[in-house]
Amino acid sequence: METLPQKCLDINTVGSFCECIVVNEPVDPAVQSFCNRTKTDKNITGEDLAELKMSLMDLEDDACCDC
Q: Which residues contact 58 (CB under 8 A, 6 or more apart)?
A: none
- Span 12-47, pLDDT tens digits: 999 999 999 888 777 888 899 999 999 999 899 999
pLDDT at position 16 is: 95
**Burial class for 49, CB neighbours closer than 10 Å (0-12, 13-18, 19+):** buried
Check whether 62 has a pLDDT greater than 70. Answer: no
The more confidently predicted of residues 65 and 46 is 46
Quote the pTM value.
Answer: 0.80
Check whether 1 has a pLDDT greater than 60. Answer: no
